[in-house]
Amino acid sequence: MSKLPLLINWFKDHKGSVTAFSGGVDSSLVLYASKLALGAQAIGLISNSESLKAKDFEIATNFCHTHDITLRVIKTDELNDPNYTANPANRCFFCKTHLYEAMVDILKAEYPDYTILNGTNLDDLGDYRPGLEAAKNHDIRSPLAELNINKKEVIAMASELGLETAAKPPSPCLSSRIPYGTAVNSTRLKQIEQAEYILNQFGFNNVRVRYLGEEASIEVPVSDLSSLESQFDVISKEIKALGFSKVQIDQEGFVSGKLNRVLNG
């Protein structure tokens, strides 16, 4: 049975809400449910920082326009924070801290009785996500996790509602393509984004380009490997033009969070 009524009912004790919105299916569901429950008192907020793909920002803004949801756009300053740019294993903690601090300031000034929300679902609680600590530090609420709604149920509910983000592949921040300990900067983030865009143009939608210094490592689902290999010469030439000296195909295929394996070694 769908948990959608349960999710919508979650908002009944809240005067209004501001959802940290990324354009992904989890935060889309939370934001849309808040709109169903709270109407104009449901606000979305997105940080258009360098680590967010321009494509994802466009998806997020289009979503809010389509569904008549107010979207606040800010720009957080994590690339000027050495704790973040040094790219430690808890990099996400510093990124989310910048975001949530900005959200808290906006709420105090403009929406004093509103609740800050994020799209954390039940499955996220069992994953390595340093950003969860930042959420806890700033009293951020997670309706999906609180209601024990997992990723599969999120997608089912988004599909039930006809949300255009239901089938959107996960798209974590661009910094997640850079190995821990390798500095994050705007040049590298742009290289990664442009390389993934090139792959999108060749028909590969679920991709990762891992930044390995002078080398770009391409991940696509195993089912797409043969198609990638057949077009590799022209693709690698375009990616090298971005500043990489070598381009390789990861024969294991696409694995979300692959760079986190070093944490378990």
Measured between alpha carbons, how far is 114 from 118 in angstroms, rounded to an integer?
13
173 is catalytic: yes
**64, 92, 95, 173: which one is catalytic?**
173
Q: How far apart are CA 250 and CA 254, in angstroms?
A: 8
Burial label for 261, CB within 10 Å (0-12, 13-18, 19+), is: exposed
**Cβ–Cβ < 8 Å for 60, 23:** yes
Stretch (H or E) spanning 119: none
Strand 70-74 and strand 42-47: pairing? Answer: parallel
Q: What share of the chain is helix, strand, coil (3-state, %, to 5)?
A: 50, 10, 35
Please check whether residue 118 is in contact with residue 31, taking contact to mean a CB–CB distance below 8 angstroms.
no
Residue positions annotated with a catalytic role: 173
